């Protein structure tokens, strides 16, 4: 089968050229959608690299940009790849083997976080503060690598979100560890021996490893979706193929015929949850989605979106989460989720955005329900709460860090 890869770029950086190089030698067609990049930067980079460039004068969002590429794609297989990702050897060949099964709507590889991480774990007992159900260990006021502060960039099961102090004598921000669980400190490129200090002191020595970004997507009982395996060591524990509820759009592959059957991404979403919505629609059509770790994609997480700390990102993600449930979930869960959202306190405009788009979401649900092959309740019963946990233990002794993928 012939293959087309769609790469969308709005704010191109140093990551775009390696991304294109990794697929130009795998695909029959590479379509770079310049999604209104400043001064046509993406267009210039794409032409130099040898991709076919589609230029949009304005930013159409992830959904609109990908859909523009879908209209131009000519391959039997169509793949989506983030412009801050590098596809490892055999990504498309492996996807073609999986998609030979007509019951499979889409497949995605193991996606790993770019770069290496130092594992840190303290032998701290867990404790719980009054009114706080989180397991706590110690407070981290500063985490530095080679003298540079990285407190907001550490990840893993062993660390909680960034917090900010209300009093002048508090540090500007801090994070709590989760008892003895490990967390991971990002290291500079090619500097695996860089000095790591936690609160000004060297932490217990830990291995250098690669981390998983996503090994498929799970659905929580409250309708939130998340990346299975996020920030766990890539040491072999995610190396088995599996069916998942959904897949990340960072490196998703489907047959062109399936895109025609299921439809494009939900244009009004602009960005976030559009991949969950598409996979959910595929499940309601009676199709499966699979995780295949035989190939690896390297992802510079949130390099182009601004990440979850951006207020606009939070509003879009919350809005689209609710709308995805409205379009695809069982009625009882839809009612619960909408009521809860309407009852919540000030939320930065999420409620207003949902109300504005609710007629569209309900209308598209009604139209598509006539062709559902399975019920929303059946999908929910099978997948809500499944795969929402995984092995978060420290890096396995003797396991080598995951291989950094390069061009095929």
Rounded to the nearest 5°, which phi and psi values hold at 308? -70, -10
**What pLDDT is recorded for position 302?**
58
Q: Over pLDDT 70: what percentage of the chain?
A: 93
State the Cα–Cα distance between residues 279 and 77, nearest whole angstrom: 16
Provide the pLDDT for residue 404. Answer: 43
Tell me what pLDDT residue 309 has: 59
Query: 330: which 2 tokens?
Result: 């069982």
Could you tell me the pLDDT band of residue 169, with boundaries at 50, 70 and 90? low
CATH number 3.20.20.70 given to 3-115+213-305: no
* Terminal CA-CA length for the chain: 18
The three-state secondary structure class of 92 is helix
- What's the confidence (pLDDT) of residue 189? 86
Q: Which of 94-103, 163-172, 205-214, 380-389 has the lowest mean pLDDT?
A: 163-172
Q: How many CB atoms lie within 10 A of CB 136?
A: 17
- The β-bridge relationship of strands 163-164 and 148-149 is unpaired
| Residue scoring higher pLDDT (117 or 312) | 117
- Give the tens place of pLDDT for each residue, 2-36: 999 999 999 999 999 999 999 999 999 999 999 99
Mean pLDDT of 258-270: 97
How do residues 114-154 score in pLDDT, each as one tens digit? 999 999 999 999 998 888 889 999 999 999 999 999 999 99
Per-residue pLDDT band at 263 (split at 50, 70, 90): very high
SS in 3 state form for 170-182?
A: CCCEEEEECCCCC
Q: Check residue 399 and give its pLDDT.
A: 58
What pLDDT shows up at residue 170? 63
Q: pLDDT over 90 for what percent of the chain?
A: 85
Assess whether pLDDT exceeds 80 at residue 38. Answer: yes
Averaged over 370-379, what is the pLDDT? 97
Other beta carbons within 10 Å of 339? 10
Extents of the domains making up the chain: 3-115+213-305, 116-208, 312-371
Q: What pLDDT band is residue 406 in, cutting at 50, 70 and 90?
A: very low
Model confidence pLDDT, tens digit, residues 299-311 = 996 555 455 557 8
What pTM was computed for the model? 0.93
């Amino acid at each position: 089968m012939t293959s087309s890869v769609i790469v969308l770029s709005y704010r191109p950086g140093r990551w775009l050229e390696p991304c294109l190089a990794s697929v130009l030698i795998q695909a029959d067609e590479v379509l770079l959608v310049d999604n209104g990049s400043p001064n046509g930067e993406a267009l210039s980079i794409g032409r130099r690299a040898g991709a076919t460039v589609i230029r949009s004068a304005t930013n159409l969002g992830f959904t609109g940009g990908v859909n523009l590429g879908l209209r131009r794609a000519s391959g039997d297989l169509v793949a989506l790849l983030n412009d801050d990702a590098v596809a490892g050897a055999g990504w498309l060949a492996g996807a073609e083997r999986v998609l030979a099964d007509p019951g499979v709507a889409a497949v995605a590889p193991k996606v790993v976080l770019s770069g290496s991480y130092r594992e840190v774990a303290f032998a701290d007992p867990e404790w719980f503060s009054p009114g706080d159900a989180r397991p706590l260990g110690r407070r981290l006021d500063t985490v530095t690598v080679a003298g540079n502060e990285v407190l907001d960039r550490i990840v893993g099961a062993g660390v909680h979100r960034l917090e900010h102090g209300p009093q002048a004598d508090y540090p500007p921000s801090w994070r709590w560890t989760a008892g003895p669980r490990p967390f991971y400190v990002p290291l500079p490129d090619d500097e695996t021996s860089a000095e790591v200090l936690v609160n000004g002191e060297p932490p217990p020595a830990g291995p250098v490893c690669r981390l998983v970004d996503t090994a498929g997507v799970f659905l929580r009982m409250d309708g939130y979706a998340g990346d299975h395996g996020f920030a766990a060591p890539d040491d072999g524990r995610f190396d088995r193929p599996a069916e998942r509820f959904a897949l990340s759009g960072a490196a998703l592959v489907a047959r062109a015929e399936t895109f025609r059957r299921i439809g494009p991404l939900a244009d009004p979403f602009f960005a976030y949850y559009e991949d969950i919505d598409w996979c959910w629609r595929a499940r309601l059509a009676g199709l499966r989605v699979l995780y295949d770790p035989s190939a690896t994609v390297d992802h510079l997480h949130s390099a182009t979106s601004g990440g979850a700390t951006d207020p606009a990102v939070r509003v879009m993600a919350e809005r689209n989460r609710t709308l995805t449930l409205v379009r695809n979930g069982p009625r009882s869960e839809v009612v619960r989720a909408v009521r809860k959202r309407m009852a919540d306190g000030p939320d930065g405009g999420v409620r207003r955005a949902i109300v504005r788009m609710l007629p569209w979401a309900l209308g598209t649900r009604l139209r598509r329900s006539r062709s559902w092959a399975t019920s929303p309740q059946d999908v929910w019963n099978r997948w809500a709460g499944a795969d929402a946990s995984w092995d978060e233990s420290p890096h396995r002794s003797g396991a080598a860090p995951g291989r950094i993928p390069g061009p095929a």
